[in-house]
Structure 1
């Protein structure tokens, strides 16, 4: 009986951990898919050729950000594969997850962190690599920094250098 309870707890734990999706998962891809969906009428969102054309029109825009252009670079050649689940009414996140199986780089494209408003508790959640990137974006080095707390302190000390490009 004890073994059964252990197995049951394991499945409950794993389903709660695996079931909780990261809100930033495939965030740029989802934005692109939502933007494409917004250009289509309800009737056209069921027609594959119209969806393919909408993806092409979206990706041809001049005012796209670099991250959106990168997603377009990945999805433009596979418009037909994207249009099928899209035409069935699949949510944008699911479409992105599906095409991510064939090209694992699609969901790695992320929007930059907005660092101006991050508190210490938020900074502790970041990896050292991310903290180093923030410092590099600010043009600051952290010589002699070894511990994560040292990087966090340096990020906080240089907060006034944060760019307003976000």
Structure 2
């Protein structure tokens, strides 16, 4: 028989695993680190705070569980209640997936190793994502070379180790 932890747990074991497990795992750890009281209401309050700062796909997860101001559904209690009883995040995500199958379809994008990547071989979409991850935009960039130049300019600021490792900067 298939493991009861199912798809999310299976995906979590891979590097690009289920974003839900990783995000909630990090959130749970932050609650413990900050000595937050494990009650549904205080967990909910902290989750709303975390979701305010979440970007990209993590923000999408927050939207699906109803932890963003523009969310249509409110299933945030499906996180806060079990978490207050220290239920493993894999189980919480599994339950969320039953409520909304889109939740476990969220995966982190493959990380690009900037110290070795040949930027010329990346697609413009991937180059744009690097800048997005840094919270930067490339105003007036039309050509691939414009994006590459902008990444080279900003790499020492956002990825100093990668910048040091590169010989082409």
Size of the alignment, in residue pairs?
112
Residue ranges of structure 1 left out of the alignment (5+ in a row): 1-10, 118-133, 140-160
User: What does residue 47 of structure 1 align with?
Assistant: 39
- Deviations along 1:63-117, one digit per CA (max 9) or x if unpaired, are x330110011011221112111111111112111111101000010011124669
CA distance in 2, matches of 1:57, 1:33: 13
Q: Contact 2:17–2:107 (CA<8 Å) still a contact in 1? A: yes
Q: Contact 1:46–1:87 (CA<8 Å) still a contact in 2? A: yes
From the superposition, tell whether residues 116 and 87 of structure 1 become closer, same or farther in structure 2 (CA, over 3 Å). Answer: same
Tell me the secondary structure at the aligned position of residue 21 of structure 1: helix
The answer to whether residue 31 in structure 2 is matched with residue 34 in structure 1 is no
Greater Rg by CA: 1
| Post-superposition offset of 1:38 | 2.6
From the superposition, tell whether residues 45 and 31 of structure 1 become closer, same or farther in structure 2 (CA, over 3 Å). Answer: farther
Q: Contact 2:18–2:104 (CA<8 Å) still a contact in 1? A: yes
TM-score by length of 2: 0.52
Q: Contact 1:34–1:92 (CA<8 Å) still a contact in 2? A: yes
Q: Contact 2:78–2:92 (CA<8 Å) still a contact in 1? A: no
CA distance in 2, matches of 1:71, 1:96: 11
CA distance in 2, matches of 1:112, 1:105: 16
Q: Which runs of 4+ in 1 moved over 6 A?
A: 163-166
Residue ranges of structure 2 left out of the alignment (5+ in a row): 68-73, 115-121, 128-147, 160-169
Tell me the secondary structure at the aligned position of residue 61 of structure 2: helix
